[in-house]
Structures are given as structure tokens and as C-alpha cells.
Structure 1
Amino acid sequence: MPSGFLRHIKRCNSHDMAGFRPFRVESHLVGWIRPAFRDRLLSFPDVFRPEGEGVGLSPALDQPDQRSEAVGSVLKHLVVDGVIPRLRREMYGVQTGWGTAPLLAMDRAAIPFFGVTAYGVHINGFVRRADGIHLWVGKRAMDRGVAPGQYDNLVAGGQPLGLSLQENLLKEAREEADLPPDLALQARPVGAITYVMEQKKGLKPDVLFIYDLELPADFIPRNTDGEVERFELWPLEKVAASIAQTDDWKFNVNLVVIDFLVRHGWLGPDHPEYLDLCRGLRR
């Protein structure tokens, strides 16, 4: 098995844009779709129309709620036809950029098929001990659809429409680690990580908002939503060795932990991959 940290960043930024076509709303480029999926969408002419090599929405759908309803109806047909998996009943915003008004809402399950930018929050929960920093690591349940049995952050979740980042952080912290609000609010924003990854479903241009949370030595996280099987507290040396030498972590969590190792001085400028890691975390 290849070793090193940089391979994880390369994996999360592996894509060939020649295999995708633009998806536009109101002439705004908001996503990228595969040609076969474009053809399938164009079989719903009341909702989708060709725009050059890509696809756009019918101009009759000129309001966000109209677009959301019309696209949602198409998605239900695509689920029945087996084109996309079952819907998640969690809505994401389709936007021109972070902080802009959503042009429509789309079910989370469909986001990668449309190559729309998705946002999420990740919390590094750590403890300072006499022998150094220790990081809380979650072991994902085996019934998860994504990365079953792999390692995860203390808290991580997608950013749904209708919640602020803080509201989502509090929700995810309670569900995933049973963090009380007063403790979760001590999480400190420390930046964002970006990547563009090609998967079988489509393109994942993701943005992860990263938080560090220093926890009391006597706090024990407890999962309440079934996503995590157990939590373990690891010294940074063990964390770093696992990231560098195995593929045991959820693909994007590798990047979050590498960023933590860099910011906390465990990975320093003397490491041969250091500059490439710093650049690669924010493409």
C-alpha cells in the first residue's frame, strides 16, 4: 500500500473535467453533469433544456420555490428508474457561492449527480495531556452507506438549507457526540478545506468548514444517531501514522486531520510534502 500524506489530497482532487458538462441556473454555472445524465434530464423538457453542451432549467421556472418543486419531481422519477439512489429528505442549497441566496433547493442525494458545491462542518475534538495532544476518533458504523467501518472526526456533517453554520454545528455535535451546547459553542473556526473529487455518481466540489474544540480530560463522547460505533482517544503520533500508512479513514477526513497536524505543528516545514500539503488543502 502506498504511504504518505499527500496521496490523500491527490485522491480527493482526482477528476477529469472532459467527462462533464455545465449545469446552469439563470445562466449561472452551478454544477457539472455527465453527458449520459444530461441526456436523461433532457427527457423532462418542462424542467430541463439544453444550453450548449450543458443543461439549464426552463425559463418558465423563474422562482426558487418553483425550481425546487419541479426538480424535486424529476428526482422522484429518477429514483424510481434507478438512476439515482433513494432521496435523503435533507435539502441543500444550489448557490453561485457561499453566502449567496439559493437559486433552488435540491435533495442531498442528488447533489453529486449535478456536481453542485456542497458544504459541511467538521470538528476536531482534542485533549491536551502531559504527553501531548490526543485526538478523539470516531469508528463509523458498518451499516453506513459511505465509508462503513472507517475512522471519522468527532463531529462531521453536511450543511443543510435553512440552518446557519452555528445551528448546524450544535445539531451535529449533539447527534454525533452528545456534546452539550455550552461545550459545542467553544469550538473555534480555524478555516476551510476545499477539493474536487470525481466519483461514480458524479463530481464532488466540496467545502469543509473546520473547527477545533479542546475538550475537558473527563469528557467522553457518546454517539446518539447511530452513525458512529465507538469513539477512541488517540495520541497524535498514532493518528499521523494511521493517516500516512493506511486507508482506514473516510476519504475527506484524511484532509481535515492533515490540516490539524499542520496547524498544531506535528507536520512541520522539514517534512518533504509540507508545501504541497499546505497548497493542496485549499485548491
Structure 2
Amino acid sequence: MSFIDKIRACNAWNPSDFVPLWLDGARVGWLRRSACDQLRRWPEQFAVESGRVTWVGAPAEFSARTAALDAVFARLAEEGVVSHLHGERYPLTASTRERACCVIDRACAPFLGARAFGQHLNGYVRTAHGIEMWIGRRAADRRHYPLHLDNLVAGGLPHGLSLVDNLRKECTEEAGIPRALADRAVVAGAITYCRDSAGGLKPDVMYCYDLELPEDFVPVCTDGEVESFQRLPLAEVAALVRDTDAFKLNCNLTIIDFLVRHGFITPEEPDYLEILAGLRAPLP
């Protein structure tokens, strides 16, 4: 295995397996063909054609659009077509979070192939022996990737919360990082990828942060999502990413980006240019 294998795994999808979802002349999602068949059950809402689906019955108001989709997904979740409802609200948007046309349940975003946003933070320590990184192990009861390794802090970005406020919240919940320390996190750009998943298409945006931590800091999970933490030398973290499937899939990208920016992955890496491009894959 290699670093580029992990990037390719996060960008594995076949455009011919999906059709665009349109609203008001903008493409707001990508639907698997089986999802199109489900939406045929609501002909007053969705015009399903061979190469596209149009939300023709969308109300004009933000809240009414949200309610209309909630009714559809309540039925799909009841029937098991959608695995569950998460309870957290994500924007349905053709571009940015700020231009949402309505909100949907987080768990329903892949069904629609809707763009989703999250925040991932690399927490690290500078020691006499070099950089060491704090790594979390996901709890055994997590719905996705139980017991896999994870970034120190990582979470979805709900509608209505600013990036600053959500990062503070995630830092507190997942690692017990106090606000004053969390506010020292440095914005390190964004990673984009698009992947065919069990629930549908995931064209995702991850805002990335670096947080240099005091050597005596020890993270503590307060929301039950992390089973344990360990602090590892950067070379060991890199080997886990490159050579194993120990990490939750998209967390590999956040770490690879860190390795590039901190000079661990250099232009001598055979796939260097593909790695750089793959971390910012164009979203459909």
C-alpha cells in the first residue's frame, strides 16, 4: 500500500452510476439510480428522467423545503431505505454552506449525493526527538469505522454553527481541549474528495487545522465517541497511514496533508504531484 492508495480510495466513484439532482437551475446533488427509483414515489415533488432528477415541487421558502424533504426521508428511514436519522442538520447546497437552499438530516446527505462539510484537527507536540501526533481510537459502538484510529478532533459541520464555534465544541467534546487552547488552532486549508459509499455519494469538504499542544497535555474524551488516545512519533503515524487500514478512511487524507506541509512527504515521493492534486479533488 501507499499514500496515494489512500487518496484514490477516497476518490473512487463512477459518474455513470449517478444522475444529477437539480433545483432552480442548480445541481444540488448526485443520485444513485436506485435512489431515483425511490423518488419516483413522490411524482408531485420529483420529476425523474433518464439522465436527471428535478425537484419540481420544491416550495419557495427555506423552512417549507426542509419540511418537504423531512417527510420524504422519514418514510425512507422507516422503511430502511435510509439506514437511520442522525438528528444533526446539514445544508443542501450547490456551492457553499452559506448558500443552502434548505437543510437535511446528516445521515441523508449521501442518499442525495449532497455536499457535506466537516472539520479535522491534527494535534501534535514538538519534542526533543521530533514531532509526535495525538491519535484517537474510535469507540466500539460507533456506527462507522468502530475501533479505527482517528484524528485527535474530527466532526461534521452542522448548519447554523460557525466554523469557530463548531471547532471549539468538537475540541471540548472529543478531546477535552479548553477553549483558550482550541483557539490556537491554525487553519491549514481544506481537503476535498468524492467517494461512492454504501449510503450513496459523498462529495465532501474537510476544513483542516493544526494545533501544537503543550508536552504535558493529555486529551480526555467527554462524549463517549473515542475509546482511547495515544501519542505517536510522526514516522509511526505515517507508516500506519501508508501501510495499514488502521485509520478511518478520510482521516488518512488529513494526516497525509500534514505530512506534506511539514516536510515529511517530499517531492522525492514517486507520487508526489498526484498526492498534492488528490487532496483537492474537484467536486462534481
TM-score, normalised to structure 1, is 0.97
Distance 2:43 2:103 in 1: 19
- The equivalent residue for 1:227 is 225
How far apart are 1:60 and its partner, in Å?
Answer: 5.2
Query: Of 270, 273, 276, which aligns to 1:275?
Result: 273
Q: How does 1:25-36 map to 2 (within 5 A)?
A: 25-36=23-34
C-alpha displacement of 1:54: 2.0
The alpha-carbon deviation at position 84 of structure 1 amounts to: 0.3
Summarize the Cα distance change of 1:107–1:258 in structure 2 as closer, same or farther, 3 Å threshold: same
Counterparts of residues 127-138 of structure 1 (less than 5 Å):
127-138=125-136
> Residue 98 of structure 1 corresponds to which residue in structure 2?
96
SS of 1:252 mapped into structure 2: helix
1:56 to 41, 54, 57: 54
Further displaced range: 126-135 or 91-100: 91-100
Indicate if the aligned counterparts of 1:140 and 1:230 stay in contact, CA closer than 8 A.
yes
For residue 6 of structure 2, what is the aligned residue in structure 1?
Answer: 8
Deviation at 1:140, TM superposition (A): 0.7
Deviation at 1:49, TM superposition (A): 2.5
Q: What are the residue-to-residue correspondences of 1:130-209 with 2, within 5 Å?
A: 130-209=128-207
Look up the equivalent residue of 1:259 and give its one-letter code.
Answer: D
Partner SS state of residue 81, structure 2:
coil
Task: After superposition, give the CA deviation of every residue in 1:185-229 in whole Å (9 maximum; x if it has no partner).
Answer: 100001100101011211100010000000001110001111110
Please give the alpha-carbon distance, in whole angstroms, between the structure 2 residues aligned to 1:214 and 1:246. 26
Corresponding residue for 2:16? Answer: 18
Q: Is the 8 A contact 2:58 2:65 kept in 1?
A: no
Report how far residue 52 of structure 1 moved: 5.9
Q: CA deviation at 1:51?
A: 5.5
Higher mean displacement: 30-39 or 46-55: 46-55
Q: Is the 8 A contact 1:93 1:160 kept in 2?
A: yes
Unaligned regions of 5+ residues in structure 1, if any?
Answer: none
Aligned mates of 1:208, 1:151 — CA distance in 2: 17
Q: Report the alpha carbon displacement of residue 45 of structure 1 after superposing the two structures with TM.
A: 2.4
> Distance in 1 between the 2:115 and 2:237 partners?
29
Counterpart selection for 2:255 from 257, 262, 270? 257
Superposition pairs of residues 112-123 of structure 1, within 5 angstroms: 112-123=110-121
How far residue 96 of structure 1 moved from its aligned partner, in angstroms, is 1.8
SS, match of residue 225 in structure 1: coil
Give the conservation status (yes or no) of the 8 Å contact 2:46–2:57.
Answer: no
Partner-residue secondary structure (3-state), 1:195: strand
Contact 1:125–1:154 (Cα < 8 Å) also in 2: yes
1:125 alignment partner in structure 2: 123
Cα distance, 1:63 vs structure 2 = 1.4
Instruction: Report the aligned-residue RMSD.
Output: 1.1
Corresponding letter in the other structure for 2:66? S
Structure 1 pair 103–265 and aligned structure 2 pair: CA distance change class (3 A): same
The 1:163–1:51 alpha-carbon spacing in structure 2 relative to 1, beyond 3 Å, is farther
Deviation at 1:22, TM superposition (A): 0.8
Q: Does 1:107 align with 2:98?
A: no
Percent identical: 44
8 Å Cα contact 1:47/1:71 also seen in 2:
no
Deviation at 1:32, TM superposition (A): 0.4
AA partner of residue 25 (structure 1): L
Cα distance in 2 for residues equivalent to 1:224 and 1:48 = 42
Q: In the aligned structure 2, how far is the partner of 1:155 from the partner of 1:138? A: 8
- Partners of 2:278 and 2:167 in 1: CA distance: 25
Contiguous gaps of at least 5 residues in structure 2? none
Runs of 4 or more above 6 Å deviation: none
SS of the aligned residue for 2:249 comes to coil
CA 1:138 to 1:149, structure 2 compared with 1: closer, same or farther past 3 Å? same
Shift of 1:64: 1.3
